[in-house]
Structure 1
């Protein structure tokens, strides 16, 4: 059935002054036979919105094209749901604000933008949200330390049920072995008592929190709102259905046995900060060598940290923890010599007051790297360091106890690497190396891509740390606390609260059939036409979020609530069997085919730009906002992720006579600026195959180019676009133009 569609053009913000609006309207009415077409000087005003809504009501149209400003602005104003599907055509930022007014090329650019918007909407079907069966909004918290207890408590305070699983017989984790904690309230200069007992009482008294101690996760299957978690404890197993998961398994101290140059393993009076904490908790702070009184103590900060041979990163809390322990010694004996050897004292925020108090108390601070720890021959220890102040060696003699402030290693960093099933003979290897997944026995996920969360460097299961803190690459699972990143107690409490809120946000979105970020609220999901599936495994291997499992015959088994709607699977599929109701291979292909391509004699080349909607499109918008001009030959099609680019689009564009194709994707690298992890990198790898095809067709490989664009590259974009246009002009017209 033919869709009833309305097109409404805004003439404000300079659009009407720069374009022939009547000619633009004729594109809709004459070329596409759209009966309902209107214009307004301020389409975002109440009167303009009323005009568009009146068309919906009087004409019975359920599909509306708004040709005005960027789709990144006025999203609430032009939200006509339920009952209408809206397509935004960017005439302001990407046409009139970045190109010459009342110019033929600018007019042609605007008309093509409208054509593509109309075609896209004509190919769009209203999404039918996926709503699973027996949905749960309960939150599973794995780990009963400070972070886990806080996450469970905050979940219950928000009105949601929590299930807390702790492997030890008692709650508390590392905090149970801690004497005092750094100050968290005025005057911030003295260590505080541990908040653990009060927090445990609060958690165990809440009816919305179910606590399992002495238990571990045997397996986790399913997807957000439908996770089935098998818990093993006390000789039995049972299953909990939960909606989201907070991973709060914490960290352990770096293996100090590797620090022999600092005396560990050579002298019994060299201990770690964690071992000293246990001495304070037991009430017996003594020298391990002879049980004697500690008359002097030296702390060595960054013991094994910020060291490429051990831990290359800072563990964030070691400086403050050492200041706290030094304060504890001074409270026992104000005259005790206390030394702190440090590289950089990182006491941020209110911890500066604890640092100043330590100076007032007479703690001796020595800045310099410790070279060695030796026996002084009389039962004490000698610390040899390079004093950065005097630029000369310095020795502290007669020290009774040396404390190593070793760093944190996340519990997710242990275990053998997971090895995915090798490709069988005749099968193509995955384009991008698999993520690092360690079999750490924390969640035991029943995922095709591995049993635990993928980790970044050093074993931390973080994701896009700039845009999506608390995230992992498994939808609905949120690491928090020191398993996610090194942090102190205060940061762990904040982290736990954030992770709990993200888990709650996830179950609320998913239970309504909506995607979580970055396409928050999207109710579409990938649909598979299985009759043409060849079991090539590209979709299951290349999905950045492990959303697709496989059956015993290697057929894909999608899990819609794990999906983040990036479309990487759609770009990977050589048979084009994967599509979304509002995003498909056919849709983009038809948009490309509706670009008007002048013949070669008009000397107006056409350049197709496939631009990532997360970074490249905002950068293009900012280019327009700053009135930076670029070549008008370009025709921009936003894509969800460059990884969703199917190679057939390149073929469609070249056969249409498009002279050049530029792909603008996110930057690659370990910081994963790509919102969908490796989508941009995948697109770049796929393009290498296209270049080989172009060479075989005697087409210049330079006609297709990939560029990494950050959201901050808006000043560089005109140079990129103009440079590519100049290269296309050198190459001349596409020889397939006109065929």
Structure 2
């Protein structure tokens, strides 16, 4: 498109008092050759917005550059016709609020940002939404338990069709095996009758929910809005086209055979919580050898919160044991009930059930089990250390012991094999990139993805989701995890989780049909374009994409799936041939922004530090520093990146050739508890930057001129010291010898 650019400078929020606005205007009109440049004291007010809209309608302005506050605020105010390109220059948070007013260096910083903004808009083209073929508004829900049925019904209530696949002959899942369920309504002091049958009936009678029982997923191919799911039901293959997927396959009990140290398998009267439900369902609770239970002990965290078994808390064990204790007390109020626990965890209204158990006479012992033995009558003697009293205690022989063994997600069924593979990868200590994803062979989704048939998982085997910012949203776009397959949770939490996942799945469908990004760049219409004629088939884009957005065709060329794409640009940073671009984000665009920085001569003693800042954590942290009026080094110039994983090493070489003295990469925290919105982006950037020494050596420059740090938004107060420390090191190294070339 032929661009007519208008630059609009806000003088409010002390911008006009802190900067030479006329000097900024000259940068736009004289250097940038911008035909329209205006200022206004309240640009985000109605009068200021009308000024811009008038120029769009009457002067033919179709490219707008707003020099005012951070692009993270007033984004809804500065929203114009979709045919208008709009970009922002941050003069408030990252210039006048973080630098002294009426200062030469502050003015130079503002003018550089103006130059960078103008350089950027010259290379922006209007994105065109991707339009897929035969897109549908149907959800596929895998798993017909409480979570899966709730997700399917919530979707139907919202006006969407759902396909529900359950491997068992009947719906209901785990709930079918319960004698009673934990209380969900006031007064929350006693177990309730299991109501799963009502939910099953509601699902089966809903015309918008198609149910397949005795069925499993044979394959899922395609992408959001146009997944093709092959369902195997009793040997027959049925194909359904769906727009998104909710994984709700739940969890299974931890293998009690591994709890022999607690007597399981050794003594027949040591049972699991699941077996206790079966005994209660038969009427009078008797132990396996037929004796009526007059005394019982519940052992919490049987395998959970144990580094040798399950390192995590399984969330429901305490409440389930309290529920089962009430079974015994209802049968015989005089029965002795012991509950051995590490920490009693009864969140929310479950505290009332805990209090009722105390009133009913249950004896709570906080301590560690040191041994379980059996007497001649097959009664069980429990030795434990009582943490509260400091004493070692031994119970008189109890009739039965119930182990509250924790939950293992169905995504972790191949965990042992995967762990061995992980050990091999650790031994290899690959230097070419971060550790590869370990895809567990759980046979739940059978994805037709180059990146593997199942989803990556978190370190304990739960389906991966960005648990800090984006629960439900797994590493495979359009596939959402809900319930105990995502994290240990109780029934009420599973119902809430199912509703949330269904809503996210619906959002995905609607966004995919519109051709915009689902998350985290919600509404972004751009998607990567591949200049295949220059592709060398190096496979880096297919390997490094964290979301499975790029497959390979039969000739091993990258095969992008735009509706799977999160628009992070990691593939762009991965490509050594620079064949991947977005209409509003590209290697040449960022290259021209950094080249627009005016680098003073060596004798002016004004070094320049270029910050490549992740837009998700680092850039907001810089904003927060400004909001809190924390002043930082005036040498810095910030270029926000969609993700630090989109970093191209070309930018490092170009910056150094330009005379930039130092480059600071600020990315999200990576590792097991990652905060990177794009999962692997910051980690990939760290890997790439480890190789930058070769580039700098070629330029006869010190590798210390490039530094990378991880930062979260909450670390904003640390930024001034971090920048000062880097500036001090650059002063020791001296000026970049390429200045003036």
State if a TM-score over 0.5 links the two structures: yes
Deviations 1:674-733 (A, max 9, x none): 111111111111111112321343211111111111111111001111111122122221
Q: How big is the shift at 1:600?
A: 1.0
1:304 equivalent in alignment to 2:306: no
Give the distance between the partners of 1:245 and 1:463, measured in 2 at CA: 14
Alignment match, 1:493: 495
Tell me if structure 2 keeps the 8 A contact 1:261–1:371.
no
CA displacement at 1:592 relative to structure 2? 0.9
Corresponding residue for residue 123 of structure 1? 123
CA distance in 2, matches of 1:97, 1:296: 69
CA contact (8 A) 2:136 2:226 kept: yes
1:461 and 1:300 map into 2 onto residues whose CA distance is 28
Report SS of the residue matched to 2:34. Answer: coil
Note closer, same or farther for the CA distance 1:158–1:185 as it changes in structure 2 (3 Å cut).
same
- Distance between the aligned counterparts of 1:257 and 1:325, measured in 2? 22
SS of the counterpart of 1:167?
Answer: coil
Aligned residue pairs total 733
| C-alpha distance 724-161 of structure 1, shift in aligned 2 (>3 A) | same
Cα distance in 2 for partners of 1:153, 1:334 equals 41
622, 633, 637: which one aligns with 2:639: 637
| Offset, 1:533 | 0.4
Instruction: Look up the SS of the partner of 1:509 in the other structure.
Output: helix
Q: Hey, what does 1:680 align to over in structure 2?
A: 682
CA distance in 1, matches of 2:620, 2:81: 24
**Contact 1:526/1:560, CA 8 A, preserved across alignment:** yes
- Is residue 270–residue 401 contact of structure 2 (8 Å, CA) maintained in 1? yes
How far is 1:389 from its partner?
Answer: 2.4
1:280 CA drift (Å):
1.9
Contact 1:376 1:397 in 2 (8 A): no
3-state SS of 1:259 partner: helix
Structure 2 counterpart of 1:544, from 522, 543, 546: 546
Q: CA separation in 1, counterparts of 2:53 and 2:304?
A: 62
The DSSP-based 3-state class of the residue aligned with 2:339 is strand
* CA contact 1:436–1:456 (8 Å) conserved in 2: no
* 2: CA distance, partners of 1:204 / 1:119: 59
Q: TM-score, normalised by structure 1?
A: 0.98
Once the two structures are TM-superposed, the CA of residue 378 in structure 1 deviates from its matched residue by 2.3
* Corresponding residue for residue 146 of structure 1: 146
* Whole-angstrom CA distance in 2 between matches of 1:451 and 1:439: 8
* Structure 2 CA distance for aligned equivalents of residues 82 and 455 of structure 1: 39
TM-score normalised to the size of structure 2? Answer: 0.97
Does residue 372 of structure 1 match 2:371? yes
Give the secondary-structure state (helix, strand or coil) at the position aligned to 1:716: helix
Deviation at 1:736, TM superposition (A): 1.3
Distance in 1 of aligned mates of 2:283 and 2:409: 29
For 1:282-681, list aligned pairs within 5 A.
282-283=282-283, 285-288=285-288, 290-415=289-414, 416-417=417-418, 430-681=432-683
The Cα of 1:388 is off from its aligned counterpart by: 1.5
Structure 2 unaligned residues grouped into runs of 5+: none
Runs of 4 or more off by more than 4 Å in structure 1? none
SS of residue paired to 1:123? coil
Within 2, Cα distance between the matches of 1:543 and 1:249?
Answer: 26
- TM-superposed deviation, 1:567: 0.3
410-419 vs 618-627, greater mean Cα deviation: 410-419
Question: Deviation of residue 153 (structure 1)?
Answer: 0.9
SS in 2 for 1:362: coil
Quote the offset at 1:398 in angstroms. 2.1
Question: 3-state DSSP class of the match of 1:113?
Answer: helix
1:681-700 mapped onto 2 (5 Å cutoff): 681-700=683-702
Alignment correspondent of 2:79: 79
Q: Which residue of 2 aligns with 1:724?
A: 726
Looking at structure 2, the residues matched to 336 and 126 of structure 1 have their Cα atoms a distance apart, in angstroms, of: 75
Contact kept? 2:13, 2:92, Cα under 8 Å: yes
Question: Partners in 2 of 1:244 and 1:429 — Cα distance?
Answer: 36
Q: CA deviation at 1:429?
A: 7.8
- Partner residue in 1 for 2:95: 95
Whether the 8 Å CA contact 1:430–1:542 is kept in 2: the answer is: no
Q: Do the aligned residues in 1 keep the contact of 2:465 with 2:486 (CA within 8 Å)?
A: no
